[in-house]
Amino acid sequence: MPTLNWIGKEKVINHHQDVPYKILEPQYTFSNGKESKGATSENKIIHGDNLEALKSLLPEYEGKIKCIYIDPPYNTGNEGWVYNDNVSHPKLKKWLGQVVGKESEDLSRHDKWLCMMYPRLKLLHKLLADDGAIFISIDDNEQANLKLICDEIFGGRNFVTSIAWQRAYAPVSLNKYFSTNHDFVLCYSKKKDIYRVKKLKRTEKQNKDYKNPDKDPRGNWKAGNPSVGPAVEKNVYKVKCPSGRIVLPPKGRSWLYSEEKLNELIDDNRIWFGKDGNSIWAPKLFLSEVSDGITPLTTWLYSEVGHTQDAKKDLKQIFNDDLFATPKPVKLIERIISLTADKNSIILDSFAGSGTTAHAVLNLNKEDGGNRKFILIEMEDYANTITGERVKRVINGYGEGSKAIEGTGGDFTYYELGEALFKDDKMLNEDVPLTKIQEYVWYTETKEAFNAQEENYLLGTKHDTAYYFYYEKDRLTTLDESYLRTLKTKAQQYIIYADLCLLDQKLMDKYHIVFKKIPRDITRF
């Protein structure tokens, strides 16, 4: 498979493993129209760089996200927006200097963008569920590069499609070459053989194509195509219309059905020869017999999913102001979510901007009583004042008079990125709450989310192995015979973390005990 190279690639390829693991610190939960302390909602808005935030999500969410939508900076070189679209944001510049080193001074804007995206996509890939999919908005500035790195990270075989979304309402006649009026949405599944795209709901407009000119008691129908290509010889035969006219399939094609089958259908009044009985026959496709949904096309028109002006107008209605320059239409993201997610799925957007993804999730839940959850990450300071504030207004309802929009209900917890778990990547940070350390260690051992246990120091059991984390902030812990006598859980094998071990090797072999030294033997991921 062809792969893409760029300056700095070798430095970022495994960088996601070196990103410090930080804990998420809940600031408030918004529920029932007001903020309160604690983290009681399953919906999350996280303020921070998504590289660190995505890593923080791994212990709880690895392999659990059904639908990821991201709308990263397109790298247009346009500086004049609320955020810098050309990856020269001071935070990113600093990060590139640290990760890529001196070479970073020579990077082109494409190199920088790829360095920024690669480790983030690696983490997103880990978070995606086996039957889930990621959708990425992009335009021609980076779509070709993005496609190649996604082929590398997600696997070319997991590429699902590239959607052309008609984003612009009015063509720009001043453009020298073409007036670009579409963006791409690239879609990759985690495992294509088990990923299923849901059908789109049939609209009233589509149903109107079905009519009943012959008053068929089976109801409305529309005429289908009678021929297929390339021609299959046995299905090329003469058909006699009721008027007596003889018809053949078009050159190079054959009839849809064998002669025998066609005659059966004519007898069942399922074939239409036009009002005058003189037209080329057509199969009657009954509305009552077509499947409920429609297979989605790869071109999405603004008449179906909105355009960028719609998105700005909607946001203005929420804030009475143009607070954010590049929102996506809610309908666009609603469609993406409904093609992949179930009513209980978790949906992640790690370039959250004005929070459209949360808006779409809340709308869909309101519409069908679902319990989809959202996780949004936004690095800019407006994570609370725009992203969070929009979601509050959507939950509560907004607008006035005839333009008032009823609230969706719902809640979310707002987080800041907190302390790193390790100091200088070596010692455990004692300021981090014990449950966060336990959660991390349990995840490194089992790749599962942690549940607090009743037995002291027990992290849990898996595959008949009991995991103990014998750790005290203020004193050294020793794995010795007297500690062993305190263990209550019976298992085939024991993995015990402690500061020191004084057990005899023979005894450890006899009881299948593995000692792991804190912090040396805690895996960094």
Binding site for ligand SAM (CB under 6 A): 49-50, 71, 73, 83, 324, 326-328, 351, 353-354, 356, 377-380
- Closest separation in Å from C-beta 364 to ligand SAM: 16
Pairing mode of beta strands 44-47, 412-420:
parallel
Beta carbon nearer to ligand SAM, 28 or 324: 324
d(CA 105, CA 111) in angstroms, rounded, equals: 11
- Closest separation in Å from C-beta 198 to ligand SAM: 22
At CB < 8 A and 24+ separation, what contacts does 231-239 make?
234/258, 235/259, 239/281
In order, the DSSP letters of 433-460 are -HHHHHHHHHHHHHSS-----SSTTEEE
What lies within 8 Å, CB to CB, of 203 at 6+ separation is none
Beta carbon nearer to ligand SAM, 57 or 428: 57
- Closest separation in Å from C-beta 226 to ligand SAM: 45
- Closest separation in Å from C-beta 445 to ligand SAM: 29
Q: 105, exposed or middle or buried, with CB in 10 Å at 0-12, 13-18, 19+?
A: exposed
- Closest separation in Å from C-beta 388 to ligand SAM: 13
Tokens 């399953």 correspond to what residue?
A: 42
Beta carbon nearer to ligand SAM, 329 or 410: 329
d(CA 232, CA 400) in angstroms, rounded, equals: 63
Q: Is 252 left (phi over 0), alpha (psi -120 to 50) or beta?
A: left
Tokens 């593995």 correspond to what residue?
A: 514
Pairing mode of beta strands 227-228, 254-255:
antiparallel
- Closest separation in Å from C-beta 379 to ligand SAM: 3
Taking CA atoms, 122 is separated from 137, 220, 362, in Å, by 17, 50, 28
Beta carbon nearer to ligand SAM, 249 or 353: 353
d(CA 525, CA 523) in angstroms, rounded, equals: 6
Beta carbon nearer to ligand SAM, 307 or 516: 307
- Closest separation in Å from C-beta 175 to ligand SAM: 22
Q: Is 329 left (phi over 0), alpha (psi -120 to 50) or beta?
A: beta
Ranges of beta strands (E only) in 60-158 are 65-70, 128-138
Beta carbon nearer to ligand SAM, 19 or 441: 19
Closest by Cα among 233, 273, 263, 265 to 249: 233
Question: Which residue of this chain has its Cβ atom nearest to ligand SAM in the complex?
Answer: 353
d(CA 416, CA 414) in angstroms, rounded, equals: 7
- Closest separation in Å from C-beta 350 to ligand SAM: 6
**Alpha helix ranges (H) inside 397-504:** 434-446, 481-484
Beta carbon nearer to ligand SAM, 364 or 495: 364
* Helix 308-319 with 389-396: angle, nearest 10 deg: 80
- Closest separation in Å from C-beta 508 to ligand SAM: 45
- Closest separation in Å from C-beta 498 to ligand SAM: 38
- Closest separation in Å from C-beta 121 to ligand SAM: 12
Beta carbon nearer to ligand SAM, 235 or 308: 308
- Closest separation in Å from C-beta 408 to ligand SAM: 17
d(CA 256, CA 261) in angstroms, rounded, equals: 10
> Both tokens of residue 452?
């607090």
Q: What angle do CA 246, 249, 253 make, to 5 degrees?
A: 165
Beta carbon nearer to ligand SAM, 83 or 515: 83
- Closest separation in Å from C-beta 329 to ligand SAM: 8
Beta carbon nearer to ligand SAM, 324 or 470: 324
Beta carbon nearer to ligand SAM, 125 or 284: 125
Tokens 């069908």 correspond to what residue?
A: 368
Closest by Cα among 445, 352, 378 to 52: 378
Q: Is 320 left (phi over 0), alpha (psi -120 to 50) or beta?
A: left
Beta carbon nearer to ligand SAM, 358 or 501: 358
